[in-house]
Chain A
Amino acid sequence: MRRLGPLVRQGVLEIIRAKVPTVFLAFLVILAWGSLFLGSLTFESKAAVAVDLGITGTGFFAGILSILVTAEMLGRLVRPAVYPLLAEGTSRSALLLGRWAAAALCIALFSALAPAALLAAFRFLGLRSFNQSDLISAIVLLPQEAVLLSAVATFLLVLLPRAPAVAASFAYWAMAHLHYHPFRYGRIVKGTIGWVIYFAGYLFPDSEMYNPRLHSSFSLHLLFAPFLQTLIYVIVFLFLAHSRYARRDL
């Protein structure tokens, strides 16, 4: 673990220098102003529309941030950039974990800060009678989804060249949100193959668990349930990424 320290610190510094915090602030200002403006165009549901747009916007932000930051940090794992590090004795597992930890740390922080800042902005700007629980749920849930997405993208980045890996990560993210249980959505294909596809669906994370609107009306216990799913799938995808990375020629 001691060896991860410099790798994580360097990764975090690279992210900060890449102006991710500046982009984050600019995005927040635009999102808060845009949500309130569009909300104000409605007759009676100004607050509901503003919150809904805010949550959707932060969700998009968390996903895009997760994939792009992961691609920037982990995309270099197969490039000459890491040859000196591996040659000097840094293990491949430490390199992968250190770079991913730096990415995950920043992704989780900004994904949690986005809905929190939005909540504060709405309060500060005097938005009345809006459902705060959706935004509070988003503070807990969005970072988890973003970190999980980052682990999936990491696996894809060591498996495929960078451009297809980024495309596949976006495809995975979109697929997980476009349909409820994409693999389990009815049994369209009949026969044995249909059953294989159906059960394969259970191997993939259930992205609806990270839907803030779904959780706000449930108990606190259920709100924290995705932690287990996040932990299990992050470990699985990082293990798969490491298995591939440890064996491949660079």
Chain B
Amino acid sequence: MKEMLVEVRNLTKVYLPGQIALRNVDFSIREGEVLCIAGLNGAGKTTALKALLGLIRPTEGAIDFPRGKPRFGFLPEETELPPELTGGEIVRFSKERAATRGVKTERSPEEFLEMTKMKRAARLRVLEMSKGMRRRVALAAVLASDPTVLILDEPQAGLDPLARLELGRLLRSRTSNGRSVLFASHDLTEVEEIGDRILIFHQGRIVDEILQSDLERPGDLKRRFFERIGLPEEGKVPGEKTR
């Protein structure tokens, strides 16, 4: 059994009275696994990630770190980088910040950029980069802080098919040395391909937990997902009349 790094218990977040983003959510992150959170827009995926990272304060519940607080790295859904800095500088500053916390890495900023196939962005300013390039530079900056738990929110947003493939490989390769990955997405195909364990969020609750080994055929996740969120057929709204 893999060791537990993070344990989330009874997590509830109420933004405004009647606007409940999370309802009594329990889950854990284990060493060396890729945990995926899948759900529709507004299911509570991002709120769960933000609460875990301390960006928002939960209304109720607790987040425990049985082995001490791990080093988190986070790639948010929106990539905002200082527009006038180059890719190399952004990664270098991330590396410098990590060094002040005692995290020393031998790799150069260019090597981190190469990990996300963005070495050519080392001398490019952010304002000269495309959306996908910015995203990959931001990921390289996160990797430069050498996180033990890498958290990504909709990581595929803005990436071309090749970059998505490379991202999948990169995430899988990280788990081989005991690092963990948690990512939230509504792209079920990618979730099915990358995740070791999949949590299905719906209306602020976890409605199912699926292991990769439970999925026999491609498309199984999609079928199970729509079943669990109460849609009998993919794309069909309940109560909708068929002509």
Contacts and interface: CB of A to CB of B under 8 A. Distances in A.
Given A7-B97, A9-B93, A17-B84, A84 B50 contact: no
Most central of A2, A80, A250 by chain B CB within 10 Å: A80
A25 interface: no
B97 A249 contact: no
> Which secondary structure dominates where chain A touches chain B?
helix
Interface in B85-132: 85, 89, 93-94, 96-98, 100-101, 125
A10 interface: yes
Given A13-B85, A250-B50, A86 B96 contact: no
B72 A89 contact: yes
B85 A14 contact: yes
Given A80-B77, A86-B53, A250-B50, A6 B97 contact: yes
Interface residues of B, number: 36
Contact of A80 (B80, B94, B142): B80
A83 B55 contact: yes
Nearest to A17: B84
B74 interface: yes
Most central of A9, A14, A89, A90 by chain B CB within 10 Å: A89
A250 B15 CA distance: 12
A84 B76 contact: yes
A167 B80 CA distance: 24
Contacts of A6: 93, 96-97, 100
Contacts of A250: 50, 55-56
B232 to A, nearest CB: 37
A44 interface: no
Interface residues of A toward B: which range? 20 to 34
B104 to A, nearest CB: 14
A88 B97 contact: yes
Interface in B64-81: 71-81
Contacts of B224: none
Most central of A5, A7, A80, A83 by chain B CB within 10 Å: A83
A213 interface: no
Nearest to B95: A6
Interface in A1-42: 2-3, 5-7, 9-10, 13-14, 17-18
Contacts of B97: 3, 6-7, 85, 88, 90
Contacts of B147: 88
A247 B100 CA distance: 25
A79 interface: yes
A243 to B, nearest CB: 15
Contacts of B84: 14, 17-18
Interface in A200-250: 247, 249-250
A151 B71 CA distance: 32
A193 interface: no
5 contacts: A7-B97, A18-B84, A80-B78, A249-B15, A249-B50
Given A76-B80, A87-B151, 13 more contacts: A3-B101, A5-B96, A13-B85, A79-B80, A81-B81, A83-B74, A84-B142, A87-B53, A87-B72, A88-B94, A88-B97, A89-B72, A90-B97
Interface of A: 2-3, 5-7, 9-10, 13-14, 17-18, 76, 79-81, 83-90, 247, 249-250
